Amino acid sequence: MNPPHPPGFLAIPPSGNGRGVLVLHAWWGLNDTVKAFCTRLALNGFVAFAPDLYHGKVADQVADAEALSRALDATHTRAKEEIAQAAKFVDEHGGGSDAGIAVIGFSLGAYYALHLAATAPEHVDAVVLFYGSGVDEHGASRARYLGHFAENDPYEPQASVDHLEDSLRRAGRPATFHRYAGAGHWFFEPDRSDAYRADAAALAWDRTLAFLQAPPTTR
């Protein structure tokens, strides 16, 4: 019997099993875009779970999202504990593979993805970042990294992206970062009509899927 999952959205592949992927939402919260992304992963053979870090709250406007993210920042410890529990659940539900799970973080979620890989290296094999950074210590990580970043992004300047890429490589971690010309923050999210770029989003999806389907790192 599979364990009950923490608050969040779970998508199971048609086969009923597959490699575990933990999806960490952006500052908007666990919205329909994140749920659709999990479903898309499941249709490609992955067990995908997105924990609800806002506990039912979802924002559509920037000001509301900023308020929710500030509240989460004030309870970092609780959020990190919930993510660690979610990672354990994904690992168990995905079959408890020795290879570990993959973690995908969007913007705010990217920070927590990086933190999880550094603090629970035994659980995380692969990390995918969508326009987010924020953690410099990667020495304990055993993961490989894929990053999708926008060329024009006031929330994530190129200097921050370059710093993250350099720090990962100095830590000896395989890291491939892509910069999407003409794109801005949230370019992957179709509900952000002012930012969505279908061409860049399609390319980022193809690259993500290929990355997730690659053989796991020798641990």
Pairing mode of beta strands 101-106, 19-24: parallel
Three-class SS state of 58:
coil
How confident is the model over 121-175, as pLDDT tens digits? 999 999 999 999 987 788 799 999 999 999 999 999 999 999 999 999 999 999 9
In the chain the first and final C-alpha atoms are separated, in Å, by 28
In whole angstroms, give the CA distance from residue 152 to residue 130: 14
Q: Tell me which residue of 71, 74, 46 sits closest to 59, measured CA to CA.
A: 71
Domains of the chain, each with CATH number or no CATH: 8-213 (3.40.50.1820)
pLDDT digits (tens, 9 = 90+) for 13-72: 998 889 999 999 999 999 999 999 999 999 999 999 999 999 999 999 999 999 999 999
Q: Report the C-alpha gap between 55 and 142 in whole angstroms.
A: 30
